[in-house]
């Protein structure tokens, strides 16, 4: 068996719920689905830039002011001495480097996945508005300060002011759209993007749901579970066998 792949992740502060970020969940699901051993390295928000420098990689993301935006996930694969950032780039790397494991991008679907990624980013912002304030309370103190300062600067609002009934309505409408996409597969095949067989797009959806499940109060999570006849909770339950965290 190859040496564990190191996954850099941002720690939550609750026992049993250390992993919360949707972006790092995508890679965690990918590694577990492929059966590749992993080892988590937990990094507080203010220390993420130092990880990029240590591994000698550059970020291609920028904030609204045009400054470099240092984000996780990052993986380091000791078998190839490769460091990669960005969840989709990581997933492509895993398919290419470990072709004998289950594929995240079945042959001929990369264009469709690129399209779905753009479509998913029409859903994710509405979900962020629901979870933004809750996320902060799940972080350790240094990360809480960083998260609050940067997010409030970006939105011009206190975190506690971001979510209201309008944001709940926007989120439900966004999930209505997502539900219509999945329902096009037909009854019994409407919980996986390709109808049968897991692909990377499924990991995007379930990781967003895990973001909500992990950080929201129970009543708020139940509100989401009540949409579309419990579809979103069923998706989370389907992927529970891959939601393994090495604490």
pLDDT tens digits, 108-165: 999 999 999 888 988 999 999 999 999 999 999 999 999 999 999 989 999 999 999 9
Burial class (CB in 10 A: 0-12, 13-18, 19+), 223: middle
Average per-residue pLDDT for the chain: 93
Residue 207 predicted with pLDDT over 60: yes
- Cα distance between residue 191 and residue 163, in whole Å: 27
Domain ranges of the chain: 5-97, 110-242
More confident residue, 64 or 189: 189
CATH number of 110-242: 1.20.1050.10
Query: What is the DSSP code (8-state) at residue 7?
Result: E
Question: How confident is the model at residue 245, as a pLDDT?
Answer: 82
Buried b (16+ CB within 10 A) or exposed e, 229-243: eebbbebbeebeebb
| Cβ 13 vs Cβ 138: under 8 Å | yes
The gap between the terminal CA atoms of the chain, to the nearest Å, is: 21
Is the domain spanning 5-97 CATH 3.40.30.10? The answer is: yes
Q: Do domains 5-97 and 110-242 have the same CATH topology?
A: no
The per-residue pLDDT for 1 is: 52
């Amino acid at each position: 068996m190859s040496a564990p792949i190191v996954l850099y992740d941002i720690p939550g502060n609750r026992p049993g719920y250390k992993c919360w970020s949707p972006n790092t969940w995508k890679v965690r699901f990918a590694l577990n689905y492929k059966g590749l051993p992993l080892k988590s390295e937990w990094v507080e928000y203010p220390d993420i830039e130092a990880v990029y420098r240590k591994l000698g990689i550059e970020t291609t993301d920028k904030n609204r002011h045009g400054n470099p935006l240092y984000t996780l996930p990052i993986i380091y694969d000791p078998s190839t001495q490769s460091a990669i950032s960005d969840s989709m780039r990581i997933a492509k790397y895993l398919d290419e480097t470990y072709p004998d494991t289950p594929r995240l991008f079945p042959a001929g679907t990369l264009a469709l996945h690129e399209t779905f990624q753009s479509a998913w980013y029409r859903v994710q912002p509405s979900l962020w508005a629901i979870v933004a304030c809750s996320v902060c309370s799940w972080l350790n103190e240094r990360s809480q300060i960083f998260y609050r300062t940067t997010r409030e600067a970006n939105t011009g609002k206190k975190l506690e002011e971001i979510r209201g009934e309008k944001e709940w309505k926007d989120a439900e409408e966004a999930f209505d759209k997502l539900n219509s996409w999945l329902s096009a597969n037909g009854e019994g095949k409407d919980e996986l993007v390709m109808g049968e067989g897991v692909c990377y797009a499924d990991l995007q959806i379930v990781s967003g749901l895990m973001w909500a499940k992990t950080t929201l109060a129970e009543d708020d999570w139940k509100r989401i579970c009540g949409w579309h006849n419990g579809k979103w909770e069923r998706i989370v339950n389907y992927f529970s066998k891959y939601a393994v965290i090495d604490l």
